[in-house]
Amino acid sequence: MLTKEFLGLVADKSGLSKKETEQLMTTMNAIIRESLMDGKSIQLQGLGALEIKERQARTIVHPRTGERSIVPSKNQLVFKPAGTIKDEFKKL
């Protein structure tokens, strides 16, 4: 499902106009992005949490040349589904 369809569903459910929904959605995404930038994790109630995990630097070996190189450490976005949601989707 693409964003537009989903926006329509949300607009129907919340009783807001499509325009308002769209504006709210972009604002929400901006807020989430900013929080992620600051290294904050975000809780989405009933869905789960968007968390930032630090991945440590590691060495890799090129399988053909045997060359070793270092993958620098970086942060990764991880979605951790809430327990209820996890169970709900298990059966699908």
Partner 1 sequence: MADKLSWTDLRRVLAARAGVNEKQAAAFLNAIQSQLVEALKNDKQVKINGLGTFKVQAVAPRKSVNVNTGEEIMIEGYSKLVFAPEAGVKELVEKSVLSSAEPTAESEQPKEIDPLKKLGAQAEEIVDILGDLGQSPKEEVKEPEPEPVAVETVVEEPVVEEPAVEEPAVEEPVVVSEPEPVIVVKEPKKTHFLRDTLICVVVLLMLLLVGYFFLRHQLGNILQSLIQPNETELVADTTETALSVEDEQVEVPKEPAPEVELNEATENEDLENIPEGRIPKEQIMAEWMEASRSVSPADGKYPELITTEAMHEASRLTWMAKRYYGAKIYWPYLYDANRDVIKNANSIEVGTPIRVPKLTDLQLDTTNAETMATLERLQKEALGSGK
List residues binding partner 1 (CB under 8 A).
1-3, 5-6, 9-11, 13-16, 20-21, 23-33, 35-48, 50, 52, 54, 74-77, 79, 81, 85-86, 88-92
Least distance CB 33 / partner 1 (angstroms)? 6
Contact residues for 20 (Cβ-Cβ < 8 A; gap 6+): 11
Cα–Cα distance, 69 to 6 (Å, whole number): 44
CB nearer to partner 1: give 31 or 61. 31
Residue type, 37: M
- Contact call for residues 50 and 41 (beta carbons, < 8 A): yes
Least distance CB 62 / partner 1 (angstroms)? 23
CB nearer to partner 1: give 61 or 87. 87
- Contact call for residues 89 and 55 (beta carbons, < 8 A): no
CB nearer to partner 1: give 56 or 64. 56
